[in-house]
Amino acid sequence: MLIMGILNVTPDSFADGGRHNDFDAAVARGLEMIAEGVDIIDIGGESTRPGADRISEAEEIERTIPVITELAKHGARISIDTMRASTAEAAIKAGAAMINDVSGGLADSNMLQTAARLKVPYIAMHWRGQSKDMNSKAVYSDVVIDVISELQERITAALDAGIEVGNLIIDPGLGFAKDAEHNWEIVDSIDSFVDLGYPVLVGASRKRFLGGDSPDEREQATIDLTKRLASTGVWAVRVHSVKPHKEVLAQ
């Protein structure tokens, strides 16, 4: 299982506490992750935590592209965490190798065609709407069946747009329009997602459904979950801390 290390270049990320919100700190953290053996560094400029406001395209590009350019020079495999086709394209030009779109192509009507044209791996996450009001959309008759069927629609849209089967990765989108119980039901049924036949990425790191009062308290729960997912055929986990996850996978 691969480790995708989170590098949020945002002043308001709930889990980083804005610690990496300037270029030097972000590059330093990226280099540290490379030294720790990270497989992919996921660089994002826009917070998607519940209730978060959107930022402009210019600001998103300004935050992410210089960090991508610098870390790509060090040989890192980088994904760009963005819902915007324009940011994704700028990131790939700057040296990113993969697009991580939490909206699965729903936020920007140009995204799927852009990913197809760029011929890079594309991560389609399950999403029901912008973070501002996503909690009100956490309504399912059966969360596993509903999320799989909505992901299948995104898979069809991605393939129709010309994304190659081998470039498509899926993600159930833990914490996005889902309450704690929904997230655990998905984790308990992760095999059903793996069985769809695409690489599955899981992003649980320090999210509220893990319990605890602070992001740091949720760290151990994240590591425990990575250990559990390692035997399920999940392709990668998206996590804040790289070293403890590499260690738990090596056990």
CB 169, min distance to ligand PMM, A: 8
Q: Which residue's CB is nearer to ligand PMM, number 27 or number 102? A: 102
Q: What angle do CA 60, 35, 124 make, to 5 degrees?
A: 40
CA proximity to 114, closest of 88, 135, 149, 143: 88
CA proximity to 152, closest of 185, 195, 113: 195
Pairing of strands 236-239, 201-202: parallel
Q: Which residue's CB is nearer to ligand PMM, number 65 or number 174? A: 174
76-89 burial, b at 16+ Cβ within 10 Å, e below that, comes to bbbbbbbbbbbbbb
As a whole number of angstroms, the distance between CA 125 and CA 223 comes to 21
Q: Tell me which of 228, 238, 243, 246 is the catalytic residue.
A: 238
Q: Which residue's CB is nearer to ligand PMM, number 73 or number 153? A: 153
CB 205, min distance to ligand PMM, A: 6
Q: Tell me which of 207, 208, 228, 246 is the catalytic residue.
A: 207
CB 215, min distance to ligand PMM, A: 8
CB 6, min distance to ligand PMM, A: 5
* Catalytic residue status for 207: yes
* Catalytic residue status for 84: no
Which stretches of the chain bind ligand PMM, using CB under 6 A? 6, 8, 13-15, 47-49, 81, 100, 102, 123, 125, 171, 173-174, 201, 203, 205, 238
Q: Which residues have a Cβ under 8 Å from the Cβ of 69 and sit 6 or more positions away? A: 94, 95
Residues designated catalytic: 207, 238
